[in-house]
Amino acid sequence: MLLINTHKLEKSFAGKSLFSNVSLGIEDGERVGLVGPNGAGKSTLLRILAGQMDADGGDVTTKKGLRMGFLEQTPTFAKDETILDAVLSKANYDEAIGSAYEWIARLELSQFGEDFKVEELSGGWKKRVALARELILEPELLLLDEPTNHLDVSSILWLEEFLEKAPFATLIITHDRLFLQRVTNKIFDLDPKNPNYLLSVKGGYLEYLEAKEQLLQAQEQREVVLKNTLRRETEWLRRGAKARQTKQKARIERAGNLKEDVQDLTAKNAARVAKIEFKDAERNPQKLIEVDHITKAYNGRVLFKDFSYLVNPKTRLALLGDNGTGKSTLIRILLGLETPDSGRVVQADKLKVAYFEQNRETLKPKESVLKNICPEGDYVHYQGQYVFARSYLERFLFNRQQMDLPVEKLSGGEQSRLRLAQLMLNEAQVLILDEPTNDLDVATLTVLEESLKEFNGAVILVTHDRYFMDQVASQIMAFHKRPDGSTTLENFAGYLQWEEWFEEQKALEALELKKDAKKESKSGGKPVKLSFKEKFELENMEATIQALEEKLSAAQAESHKPEIVSQAAKVQELYTQISELQNQIDKLYARWAELEAKV
């Protein structure tokens, strides 16, 4: 069933056309990824679909009574709003209170308590509150704008698993390529290079990449053919053909139209990507930063203990771990902004560090883009020579109008590009990048990847973009928080190796908790005699759960088959079945624990 569709949508801002002729449709059971370059209008399109903004032209049609949720890129909450109040803020209290408690529990928000203030939560937990706020509305279609921004990797893994099993359709804006591949079965590409701005591809991100490459190759070939035709027509006209005959008039008119077509295709095929090239230092000692047996603790919790590491010019290190495990603290210690409790950190003499802060604090939001890059005069000093500041900004895809705008008017991706532009003006031996990938489009991410690979100094990286991490880092250091609250540091050669290890650790920790629960129940005093029915239920519980889990696995495998993905009704039926099976399994595990506690 078609949930929502658009016909020839168009939207402009400040006289500049964002998109036009955009026609799309989303059906029941579809999981759609919305991709495209920064500034193409993806968030604007989402707001139009959500009814929060009007289009300049075209139509949006929805299924009668469609229930739609919208998880915004930066969710907003009322001042002093509690978790429970926030979750219920869009719903009828009496009707939704039960559902609110259910989602607070399922999204692991119970640990804070329902009266905990939302403003005191981290960005990742605020995202979960906002998600619960939408889910209690029981949406048939959920729109998500950059849902992985500010989430740590384990939260992203949780969100992937949740969306895979969700019984509703989704439309997701994200630049996280692994996330797209795992949670989508259709891709919309909003890009001025596409015919009518939108390319729709059935399948995941891999299928989209193949289709996009074919489209661009076809457009480039068509440009060559049209240019050759235009050259021949132009040569014929220059020979002095008279326009007395109708045939000759038509040929002259066709040459004019052909010229417009060639100009349009040339503009579409022009590759506009930011030019990112960090300035290497003239001298790079082999010991840039030496970390010698350092220990750091906060409020009695040890973040890392007796840790040693040597940063040299070949270092390509990614720090991975949940929020609050110590990644930012370690970075601050490396920068000399914080001291360890014990041990020492030795920096090379006159060490030059370029630091990309997670929240881009160095940018001055009230000042113009131009003043942020060049506070005085008209020129910047780059790579040993003076460059006109406006020309320098053009390397980062800023047009002349944007250069005079205050920074607070820029999108997140544009602010990230501006911060990178600032960093490139300074010579560096060490680059420390804390979440540089937030809001950047895939084309800019690719250029940044290549630039970091070519940089002659050390790179220390924190990012939730797992593909980017794998491309740039040759070593991953993971902060792993154990159930007892302690943290261990584990080394890996790549992200997928860590993910496999992480899943094993979760299984082992769950097994340990189960063993501890059994020990407690055995040492808890005189056992309570179960009824015959309860005893039979407990003895057969494991086999019952195993049978249901096999059914669940079979249904999940069925839902991913290519011949099934294209059948919206069948997909919806399977996802309903998957949801029901998962609920049954969850209830049986709870019942199992209840029966074991009795004995």
Report the CATH number that the domain containing residue 586 is assigned in CATH.
Answer: 1.10.287.380
- Judgement on whether residues 197 and 233 belong to the same structural domain of the protein: no
- The reply to whether 508 falls in a domain is no
- Judgement on whether residues 290 and 384 belong to the same structural domain of the protein: yes
- Per the structure, the count of domains in the chain is 4
- Judgement on whether residues 21 and 111 belong to the same structural domain of the protein: yes
Q: What is the dihedral of CA 205, 211, 216, 219, to 10 degrees?
A: -150
- The reply to whether 322 falls in a domain is yes
- Judgement on whether residues 476 and 561 belong to the same structural domain of the protein: no
Cα–Cα dist 386/388, whole Å:
7
- Judgement on whether residues 425 and 362 belong to the same structural domain of the protein: yes
Backbone angles phi, psi at 546, to 5 degrees: -60, -40
3-state SS record for 80-98: CCEHHHHHHCCCCHHHHHH
Cα–Cα dist 592/588, whole Å:
6
* CATH code of the domain containing 38: 3.40.50.300
Q: Looking at residue 295, what is its pLDDT?
A: 92
Please report which helix (H) or strand (E) contains residue 382, including its range: strand 379-382
- Judgement on whether residues 227 and 355 belong to the same structural domain of the protein: no
- Judgement on whether residues 309 and 422 belong to the same structural domain of the protein: yes
- Judgement on whether residues 108 and 252 belong to the same structural domain of the protein: no
- Judgement on whether residues 204 and 304 belong to the same structural domain of the protein: no
DSSP 8-state class, residue 375: S
Choosing from 498, 513, 542, the residue where a domain stops is 498
Cα–Cα dist 584/545, whole Å:
9
Q: Looking at residue 191, what is its pLDDT?
A: 87
Q: Looking at residue 343, what is its pLDDT?
A: 94
Q: Which residues of 577-591 are buried (b: 16+ CB within 10 A; e: fewer)?
A: bbeebbeebeebeeb
- Look at strands 141-145 and 68-71 and give their pairing: parallel
- The reply to whether 142 falls in a domain is yes
Choosing from 210, 228, 252, the residue where a domain stops is 210
Three-state DSSP state, 270: coil
Q: Looking at residue 322, what is its pLDDT?
A: 83
Please report which helix (H) or strand (E) contains residue 279, including its range: strand 279-280
Nearest of 3, 306, 328 to residue 168 by alpha carbon: 3
Domain that holds residue 579: 526-598
What is the maximum span of the chain, computed from C-alpha positions, in angstroms? 112
- The reply to whether 156 falls in a domain is yes
Residues in the chain: 599
Contacts of residue 579, Cβ cutoff 8 Å, sequence gap at least 6: 165, 166, 167
- The reply to whether 509 falls in a domain is no
Q: Two tokens at 308?
A: 């040693």
Q: Looking at residue 302, what is its pLDDT?
A: 87
- The reply to whether 513 falls in a domain is no
Nearest of 278, 272, 216 to residue 450 by alpha carbon: 278
- Look at strands 169-173 and 141-145 and give their pairing: parallel
- Judgement on whether residues 307 and 250 belong to the same structural domain of the protein: no
- Judgement on whether residues 76 and 144 belong to the same structural domain of the protein: yes
3-state SS record for 328-389: HHHHHHHHCCCCCCEEEEEECCCCCEEEECCCCCCCCCCCEHHHHHCCCCCEEEECCEEEEH
Q: Which residues of 417-426 are buried (b: 16+ CB within 10 A; e: fewer)?
A: bbbbbbbbbe
Do 58 and 49 form a contact (C-beta atoms < 8 A)? no
Q: Looking at residue 169, what is its pLDDT?
A: 94
- The reply to whether 504 falls in a domain is no
Neighbouring C-beta atoms of residue 393, cutoff 10 Å = 24
- The reply to whether 44 falls in a domain is yes
Q: Looking at residue 244, what is its pLDDT?
A: 47
CA angle (250, 254, 255) in 5-degree steps: 120
- Judgement on whether residues 201 and 324 belong to the same structural domain of the protein: no
Q: What is the pLDDT along the chain (599 residues), one digit of tens a residue?
A: 899 999 999 998 767 788 999 999 999 989 999 998 877 889 999 999 999 999 999 999 999 999 999 999 888 999 999 999 999 999 988 888 888 888 888 788 888 888 899 998 877 788 889 999 999 999 999 999 988 887 888 888 888 988 988 889 999 999 888 999 999 999 999 988 887 889 899 988 888 888 888 877 777 776 666 667 667 766 766 676 554 455 555 655 565 566 666 666 566 556 556 677 777 777 778 899 999 999 998 888 888 889 999 999 999 999 998 877 888 889 999 989 999 999 999 999 989 998 988 778 888 889 998 999 888 888 888 877 888 989 888 888 788 888 888 888 887 778 888 888 888 888 889 999 988 887 777 878 888 888 888 888 899 999 888 989 998 999 999 998 877 777 888 999 999 999 999 888 888 877 777 776 666 656 555 555 666 677 777 878 888 888 888 888 888 778 667 676 556 567 556 666 776 787 788 778 878 877 777 66
Neighbouring C-beta atoms of residue 82, cutoff 10 Å = 18
Choosing from 210, 237, 258, the residue where a domain stops is 210
